[in-house]
Structures are given as C-alpha cells and as structure tokens.
C-alpha cells in the first residue's frame, strides 16, 4: 500500500504525533518548554496558526491552519521534531537511531473538510486528557488550548467535565 498525504494550500489539518514506543516524554515543564520553543522557532520562518492543541505525555494532537498558497506542513513537522530532538536532554535520545529515537517515524494528518469536521476535531483535542484518564475535566489539563477557548468565550469552563460531549470515532493514537 502506498501512503499518500492530502496537500491543500491554506488548508486546515488535524495532526497526531506519537513519541517512539509511546515513551512518556512530555511529563515536565522542561520538555513542554522545549516543544513550545520548537513551535515558536518554526512559526517564525514558516508561519501557521495553531487553532487547537493538546500535549499529553506520549502524544500530541493539534489543528493547524496554513497560510494561503502554502501546503507544506511536512517540512514544519520535520523542523519541529528535529528541534525537540536536538534540544532535549541527551539521555532521552537513542543514539542507535539516526532520528534520535524521540518520535515515531510517521504521523497522522487529516485535511479538515468543513466546519463540522473542524469542530469535531477541536472537541476531540480538548477532551483528550479526560479520555485518557489524566484529569476529570479539560480545564484541569494545563497543556491544552482549552483555557484559551474559555478565555475567548468560545467554551464554558465546565465543558466536558460531566459527560462525553462528542463521539469516539477517531482512533489515530
């Protein structure tokens, strides 16, 4: 089977990136800060918008919107993954692996089709820490765009705290 990616200039995409062997790398502020720096540095040279994000110990979900005329999310992810690998503690890298052993080689991407698809994936991102049993409410997970959505008045603080607010149809992690 040949794997093909969907490229749409100016598109909006849902991504899932997983650490190699599901290793819990993003469990402290040091690694979260390395990841933040990677996003910040790549966005300076290759702009994009992070519409929604959640960083869990062993994987990341996010929705990006690319600039008009630009469909090159692959280079952005390569640069982000490389930055994190180069700037993490050396003991986290596996020197026998040419890519450093931080990330799975591939990642999942999905071109969002419409407003319903977009909303479903943003909700999935914001509910993900609850889904994995890390917290009982999305508001309790600090490594998510959920609080930004609350501050902007797009979601109430208690959203997702009492019930699953959407289906469980995405199985990419």
DSSP 9-60: TT-EEEEEEEBGGG----SSHHHHHHHHHHHHHHHHHS--EEEEEEE-SSEE
Residue in 13, 127, 143, 149 annotated catalytic: 143
**Quick one: which of 126, 134, 133 has its CA closest to 159?**
126
In the residue annotation, 120 being an active-site residue is answered as no
Sign of CA dihedral 146, 117, 106, 99: negative
Asked if 166 and 160 touch (Cβ cutoff 8 Å), the reply is no
Catalytically annotated residues: 143
């Amino acid at each position: 089977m040949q794997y093909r990616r969907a490229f749409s200039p100016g598109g909006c995409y849902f991504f899932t990136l997983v650490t190699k062997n599901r290793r819990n790398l993003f469990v402290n502020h040091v690694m979260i800060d390395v990841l933040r720096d990677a996003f910040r540095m790549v966005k300076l040279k290759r702009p994009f918008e992070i519409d929604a994000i959640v960083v869990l110990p062993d994987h990341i979900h996010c929705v990006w919107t690319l600039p008009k005329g630009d469909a090159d999310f692959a280079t952005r992810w390569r640069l982000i993954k490389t930055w994190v690998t180069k700037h993490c503690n050396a003991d986290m890298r596996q020197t026998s692996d040419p890519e450093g052993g931080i990330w799975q080689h591939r990642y999942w991407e999905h071109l969002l089709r419409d407003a319903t698809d977009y909303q479903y994936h943003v909700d999935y991102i914001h509910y993900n820490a609850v889904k994995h049993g890390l917290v009982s409410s999305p508001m309790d997970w600090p490594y998510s765009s959920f609080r930004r959505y609350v501050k902007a008045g797009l979601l109430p603080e208690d959203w997702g705290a009492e019930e699953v607010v959407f289906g469980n149809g995405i199985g990419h992690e």
